[in-house]
Amino acid sequence: MKRPAVGPSRRVSRPVLCAVIALTMLGGGELAADAGSVFAWGDNEYGQLGDGTTTPRDQAVSTGVANSVSIAGGRHHVLSLQPDGSLRAWGWNAMGQLGDGTFTDRSSAATPALDSISAVGAGHYHSLAIRGGQPYSWGRNHIGQLGLGDLTNRSQPTLVGGINDAVAIAGGREHSLVLRTDGTLVAWGNNTNGQIGDGTTTRRTTPVTVGGISSVTAVVGGRVHSVALRSDGTVWTWGDNAYGQLGDGSFVDRSTPAPVPGLTNIAKIAAFGFHTLALDDSGQVWSWGRNSYGQLGAGTTTNRSTPAIVPGLTAVTIGSGRDYTLAATATGDIWAWGRNDEGQLGDGTQTNRRNPVLVETIPGTSQLVGGRDYVAARLGDDSPPPPPPPTLTCSATVLGADLVLAWPDGLGRAVIRRNGSWLVTPGNVTTWTIAGTAQDDGDYLVRFRIDGVRTDVPCDRDAPPPPPPPPPPPPGAFCTATVVGADVVLNWETAAPKTAVRRNGSFLTMVRNTDTYTVADGAGASYAVRVYEGQTRTEYGCG
């Protein structure tokens, strides 16, 4: 069948990787595809697919890594952050980028000697992580991309000094970027095209401030350019612009950040090579920059210096490789387009694609990363776990001559019925007294609409009334806030898997497996911590 000139194209039917049960994969084997599983496909010369072999794959195979919280991809290596704050790494290791103290490639996951990690990132040949608000780096360092003040490679994670409030980290080919709690950025490494963003083209072997940008919520590195997303939904770019990857309508490099004209309401950004991607809050994918292999998804190979929508896609996440692009839909359909010389698109060919093609269906796909010639996909929800559903109970208690009905909070608008007929609609309350009915032997129930479904809850005369919700602990009972100079040091009692730090009622940052956090220049604000343990979420004020 002739392929359409524009818009996504469906390839032949492929196995669906179920995110709940075991599934049949290559060779008829079965793999578990639970949330947190990581799959990969494409070239495997250095073991970057993590399946224990160096055999290239044109369909998804399991890396054997489970419960992944986040992944990052270098040119030929992959990193996975685990729920306990540890790290898994596999693939090429000639520069020490796996961080295991060797220079030996790994075709299955190794564990670098760094714990309590909260975020992970990767450059082409180096790796990055955050621990306790401090950045660590390892791998290639020939131009200062590790930020350690020298040009010596490292095969183990090494502390980058001078920063204690990092919340996100990313790498380009030879530069590194860190997002701080106050929404500003620092960067270091190669700066020949202004990709550091400090207004110069001077190489930096230690961190410097990226000028002229604030309120940043996410940052990524392209090959020789940088991209940031601000809280107002705008995208800012700087660095190399030879292919129009800065999106400003020109092909002129820029050494300080500037907004991409015409882009608003952006939710995610991605970059790896010489093109840039953005996903808006309606699910539209935008692309611009180099297009030699069709990686912009426009049906052409013409470079573009301004953003344009990739037609026919509604996505929930995006990713980028060197010269190819990835997107996943809410149903787990994964689309890919661009360069395919090593089968990295996963469509069973080595044919470049100028339009999106459907390559896999993996329900629950929440993150996609690429490198030179492979793809890694992670399953799972990036958002904190929801609070547990309210218990569906109703008690009917005699109080003097009255009958008191009571039910838990959080069920919404209540309708009370007696003996199958409507009695009263008290609204969003948790108790209702029916006067003079203590001796009434009628059958009472409370009707709610939960997630659009009508739900009837019988009122049990023998059941004890639900206990009142416990009062929130007074500030300081669980979490303390100590002012140290201009900083605030928060300490709380439980090092939970996830703890959200809140300032003045708003989210500040998420930390993992720790019971302390330092807010730089944070004096004068009020703080709380929201602790996630399993499906339970509890917020405590810090006194």
Which CATH number is 212's domain given? Answer: 2.130.10.30
Predicted confidence at residue 104, as pLDDT, reads 96
- H/E stretch holding 469 reads none
Asked if residue 427 and residue 299 are part of one domain, the reply reads no
Q: Side by side, which strands form the sheet with 216-221?
A: 216-221, 225-230, 235-239, 254-259
Predicted confidence at residue 3, as pLDDT, reads 30
Task: State the residue range of the domain holding 290.
Answer: 37-379
Mean pLDDT of the chain: 86
Q: Which of 460, 488, 518 is the C-terminal boundary of a domain? A: 460
Asked if 191 contacts 160 with a C-beta cutoff of 8 angstroms, the reply is no
Determine, yes or no, domain membership for 10: no
DSSP 328-384: E-TT-EEEEEE--TTSTT-SSS---EEEEEEEEE-TTEEEEEE-SSEEEEEES--SP
9-10 and 285-289 strand pairing:
unpaired
Asked if residue 225 and residue 161 are part of one domain, the reply reads yes
Asked if residue 500 and residue 366 are part of one domain, the reply reads no
Sign of the four-CA dihedral 39, 41, 43, 45: positive
Q: What angle do CA 484, 490, 494 make, to 5 degrees?
A: 150
- pLDDT bin (cut points 50, 70, 90) of residue 472 is low
Asked if residue 398 and residue 273 are part of one domain, the reply reads no
Predicted confidence at residue 523, as pLDDT, reads 82
| Nearest residue to 370 (alpha-carbon basis) of 270, 235, 291, 444 | 270
Better-scored residue on pLDDT, 494 or 304: 304
Lowest mean pLDDT among 28-32, 462-466, 520-524: 28-32
In this prediction, residues 471-475 reach a mean pLDDT of 53
Determine, yes or no, domain membership for 301: yes
Q: Which of 460, 487, 509 is the C-terminal boundary of a domain? A: 460
Asked if residue 404 and residue 359 are part of one domain, the reply reads no
Predicted confidence at residue 105, as pLDDT, reads 97
In this prediction, residues 120-141 reach a mean pLDDT of 96
In this prediction, residues 329-334 reach a mean pLDDT of 92
Does residue 86 surpass a pLDDT of 80?
yes
Asked if 188 contacts 208 with a C-beta cutoff of 8 angstroms, the reply is yes
Q: What are the pLDDT digits (tens) for 488-501?
A: 888 888 787 778 88
Determine, yes or no, domain membership for 16: no
Q: What are the pLDDT digits (tens) for 434-458?
A: 887 767 778 888 888 766 677 888 8
Determine, yes or no, domain membership for 28: no
Asked if 534 contacts 498 with a C-beta cutoff of 8 angstroms, the reply is no
Name residue, tokens 């009905």.
Answer: 405
Determine, yes or no, domain membership for 522: yes
Asked if residue 369 and residue 286 are part of one domain, the reply reads yes
- The tally of domains found in the chain comes to 3
Asked if 354 contacts 298 with a C-beta cutoff of 8 angstroms, the reply is yes
Percent of the chain with pLDDT over 70: 87
Does residue 253 surpass a pLDDT of 90?
yes
Name residue, tokens 């692309």.
Answer: 287
C-alpha to C-alpha distance for 285 and 255, rounded to whole angstroms = 26
Asked if residue 431 and residue 326 are part of one domain, the reply reads no
Please give the biggest Cα pair distance in the chain: 86
In this prediction, residues 514-530 reach a mean pLDDT of 85
Predicted confidence at residue 503, as pLDDT, reads 83
Asked if residue 93 and residue 46 are part of one domain, the reply reads yes
CATH at 531? 2.60.40
Determine, yes or no, domain membership for 169: yes
Q: Side by side, which strands form the sheet with 317-320?
A: 9-10, 353-361, 333-338, 324-328, 317-320
Asked if residue 431 and residue 333 are part of one domain, the reply reads no
Determine, yes or no, domain membership for 2: no
Does residue 463 surpass a pLDDT of 70?
no
Asked if residue 411 and residue 318 are part of one domain, the reply reads no
Determine, yes or no, domain membership for 78: yes
Asked if residue 439 and residue 311 are part of one domain, the reply reads no
Q: Which of 333, 352, 379 is the C-terminal boundary of a domain? A: 379
Predicted confidence at residue 25, as pLDDT, reads 35
Asked if residue 224 and residue 280 are part of one domain, the reply reads yes
